Structure 1
Amino acid sequence: MAGHGAPVLSPENLDNTADLRVAVVAAQWHRQVMDGLLDGARRALKELGIDGATELRVPGTFELPVAAKRLADAGYDAVVALGVVIRGGTPHFDYVCQGATLGLTQVTVDTGVPVGFGVLTCDDEQQALDRAGLPGSAEDKGHEAVTAAVATAAALRGALGPRR
């Protein structure tokens, strides 16, 4: 399972995160999986003491990078991108996965704003359900994406001071 060997974040990695401005941008395709990812993201935000995070829904995973870029440019300290792409019988899967991955990477590199990568790229629906943080799921990628983005924002703040 991919979650094996995940880092254990110490309290100092997540210290003083309550005032971070966080946005979560989520695709709308595959409602059951997306509902699980969003619930996991919301749980993580609550556990970190972050209230009032902005949520933005976009049509699909391919649209995540443009929304993430606008949110990063708007002054958010961290952005979390949630989506799911399930392999089909055409190359569409490859194009969407590559576009979303490269686009979100470009956002974080260009803006210096951490982007939590909560995009599931699965061979079938069961793999997505197993990672969606639903009851019975083996993993909670929405929660993990928030934790990663917020921990990175907190580390950058600790090293460089608040974002301007």
Structure 2
Amino acid sequence: MIVRTEWNAATIDKLEEGCKKILDEYKVKHMTVTVPGAFELTFGIKNYWEQHKYKDDKPCVFIALGCVLRGDTPHFDYVCKAVTDGIVQLNLILPVPTIFGVLTVDNQQQIDERTGGKHGHKGEEAAITALKMISKSPQIP
């Protein structure tokens, strides 16, 4: 299950495309849920789990995709900490892993370097991490 943000859509589209590419290569069924921004990722994941945990379509992993771009105020620091702490909490309370696929960057160059540039493709890396975590989770079919 991919949970992505509307905010910074062009960047998130690239992350999601890379993520889906890997999941499709490994024939992993996936779907996407969209939330407004990075701050809402954790609620979106927890809410989806609560609605589907007893259903046949419950996810075996969540991949959180977002991008927080530094601005001129401390807002960046608050959002980054909240999202990081929220994903840590999800990994402690949910029986399935939540993968951190959130870019925390200063500028467009850093985005480009992480969506297929010199630092690889963080969307693809998030999907690979998800596959590894699925294989380590005994309760996941």
CA distance in 2, matches of 1:142, 1:43: 9
Give the TM-score of the pair, scaled to structure 1.
0.76
Give the TM-score of the pair, scaled to structure 2.
0.88
Displacement, 1:161? 4.5
Are 1:119 and 2:96 matched, yes or no?
no
Partner in structure 1 of residue 24 of structure 2: 46
Question: Which of 1, 6, 12 is matched with 1:34 structurally?
Answer: 12
Q: Which runs of 4+ in 1 moved over 6 A?
A: none
- The sequence identity of aligned pairs, in percent, is 36
Instruction: Give the aligned length.
Output: 134
Partner in structure 1 of residue 55 of structure 2: none
Are 1:108 and 2:91 matched, yes or no?
yes
Structure 1 segment 1-150 matched on structure 2, within 5 A: 23-51=1-29, 53-73=30-50, 74=52, 75-133=58-116, 137-138=117-118, 139-150=120-131
Root-mean-square deviation (Å) = 1.4
Check the 8 A contact 1:72/1:113 in 2, yes or no: no
CA distance in 2, matches of 1:35, 1:70: 23
Check the 8 A contact 2:96/2:140 in 1, yes or no: no
Stretches of structure 1 lacking an aligned partner (at least 5 in a row): 1-22
